[in-house]
Amino acid sequence: MATGPNGEYHMNRFSFGNAHLQNCKGFTLDFMRPKGMELFVELLKKSDVFVENNTPTTAPKLGLTWEFLHEINPKLIVIRSPAFGLSGRSVKWKGFGSNVEAGVGHTYAYRYSDDIDDAVSSLETYSMDNIGSHSLATAAMMGMLQVEKTGQGMLIEIPQAEGVLDALPAQWMDYFVNGRIQPAWANRHPSAVQGAYPTKGDDPMMDYVAITIFNDEEWDGFCAALDYPEWCKDEKFADSISRLKNQDELDKHITEWTKQHNKFAIMHMLQAYGVPAGPVMTEADAFADPSLLDHGFFVEETQKWCGTHKFAGQEGKFLRTPRVSRADFPPTGLGEYNEYVFKEILKLSDAEYQSLIDEEYIGTEMVAGAKSSL
């Protein structure tokens, strides 16, 4: 294994990996050579779940068909999660967050305007990766419950595009039932006055506050927080329907007010009157947020290549489920658990393990110029 162009162990030092690779035991193995594939098959024989999210042809080219996997381990749960499924006209499409979301209409549905060009340029954050991984984890747990009941493994196909579809129930139902394509929502809501409004501050990209007004009670609270400006009494804003019909004009009034105040001050003012409001946060804002700190959301963990830092922890707390701390399972490094996998699980001798290193079947650095042949 050769040291990469960005220095020694650079794959273990990048921020994305440190943020997401906790609770894992990473190992490396070159299974493009027969000996490597033999070892991989032996590991599959001892596994509960095998997950792959490549293009549909990749696993079969390696000989890892459902029939073969079920034969070597009848209790194995095999989860295949290509971008657009194992069959159909999109079967050959490769998957990435942006094109999966665009392919199922997610990008179009959450555009900022009805300008078609805006539909492909407005999103810089993709939710497909998060949705897909949660879908896979749920499928794995359901599969393991079924194995407990039947003693038999199963093949689960869960295209990543289908997971994203679950985020668009209103849009899809409206189209199939009513034949209607919904207009752009942007930051608005079809049943409430809602928006992200610019505020007083030094960062024009991040100094915004989100405000939602669903009903007359929240509208009264909003007007009270602003000390009842004259425009609050306008008949155009007298009820929920009127406010929705005239939201463009209403937004101008709201924006004129929000620009005079700090986003956190606005949040406290409006929440004190029962109006849902929250600041658009930077990373620094989040790390200083009293609510997140009080809930213990950020966890300090030590990764031996990067030192000690704070990371986002588990989203929820459950009364009867112990909370797994990131600090106990810090982000894994490339090949960090090679010795555990090959010596403890596969029971290789010291000499056999060393030969894998010497013959470059395993390692802890990226292979220089490595490319997939699939």
pLDDT greater than 70 at residue 374: no
Structural domain includes residue 178: no
Residues 42 and 79 in one domain: yes
Structural contact between residues 109 and 185, judged by C-beta atoms closer than 8 angstroms: yes
| Cα separation values, 244 from 9, 112, 179, 200, 215, Å | 55, 17, 23, 26, 11
pLDDT-based confidence at 2, cuts 50/70/90? very low
Structural domain includes residue 181: no
Residues 115 and 94 in one domain: yes
Structural contact between residues 231 and 253, judged by C-beta atoms closer than 8 angstroms: yes
Structural domain includes residue 179: no
Q: Could you tell me which of 172, 167, 219 has the C-alpha nearest to residue 192?
A: 219
pLDDT-based confidence at 369, cuts 50/70/90? low
Residue 358 has a CB neighbour count (10 Å cut-off) of 9
Query: Measured between alpha carbons, how far is 178 from 295 in angstroms, rounded to an integer?
Result: 44
CA angle 302, 308, 311 (to 5 degrees): 85
Structural domain includes residue 52: yes
Residues 159 and 58 in one domain: yes
Chain segment 160-200, per-residue pLDDT in tens: 888 888 888 888 899 999 999 888 888 999 899 999 999 99
Residues 43 and 24 in one domain: no
Domain end: 258, 279, 300, which one? 279
Domain end: 260, 279, 298, which one? 279
Predicted pLDDT at 166:
82
Residues 65 and 19 in one domain: no
Structural domain span for residue 231: 193-198+208-279
Query: Measured between alpha carbons, how far is 208 from 347 in angstroms, rounded to an integer?
Result: 57
Chain segment 95-119, per-residue pLDDT in tens: 887 888 888 888 888 777 766 665 5
Averaged pLDDT of the chain: 89
Structural contact between residues 300 and 310, judged by C-beta atoms closer than 8 angstroms: yes
Residues 264 and 345 in one domain: no
pLDDT greater than 80 at residue 157: yes
Structural contact between residues 166 and 130, judged by C-beta atoms closer than 8 angstroms: no
CA atoms within 13 A on the CB side of 363: 17
Structural domain includes residue 355: yes
| DSSP for residue 331 | P
Residues 256 and 157 in one domain: no
> Could you tell me where the DSSP H helices lie in the chain?
15-20, 34-45, 58-61, 66-72, 97-103, 106-109, 128-150, 160-165, 169-178, 216-225, 240-245, 247-258, 263-271, 283-287, 290-294, 338-339, 350-358
Predicted pLDDT at 290:
92
- Determine what percent of the chain is predicted with pLDDT higher than 70: 92
Residues 295 and 216 in one domain: no
Structural contact between residues 64 and 99, judged by C-beta atoms closer than 8 angstroms: no
pLDDT-based confidence at 123, cuts 50/70/90? low
Structural domain includes residue 215: yes
CA angle 19, 21, 25 (to 5 degrees): 155
Query: Measured between alpha carbons, how far is 183 from 171 in angstroms, rounded to an integer?
Result: 9
Structural domain includes residue 184: no
Chain segment 243-278, per-residue pLDDT in tens: 999 999 999 999 999 999 999 999 999 999 999 999
CATH of the domain at 242: 3.30.1540.10
Domain end: 230, 249, 279, which one? 279
Q: Which residue has the higher pLDDT, 309 or 346?
A: 346
Structural domain includes residue 344: yes
Chain segment 327-350, per-residue pLDDT in tens: 678 889 999 999 999 999 999 999
Residues 155 and 112 in one domain: yes
Chain segment 196-252, per-residue pLDDT in tens: 999 999 998 899 999 999 999 999 999 999 999 999 999 999 999 999 999 999 999
CATH of the domain at 106: 3.40.50.10540
Q: Give me the number of domains the chain comprises.
A: 3
Rounded to two decimals, what is the model's pTM? 0.83
Residues 240 and 292 in one domain: no
Residues 352 and 262 in one domain: no
Region 311-326 average pLDDT: 78
CA atoms within 13 A on the CB side of 4: 15
Residues 309 and 242 in one domain: no
SS3 assignment, position 301: strand
Q: Could you tell me which of 224, 208, 199, 229 has the C-alpha nearest to residue 274?
A: 224
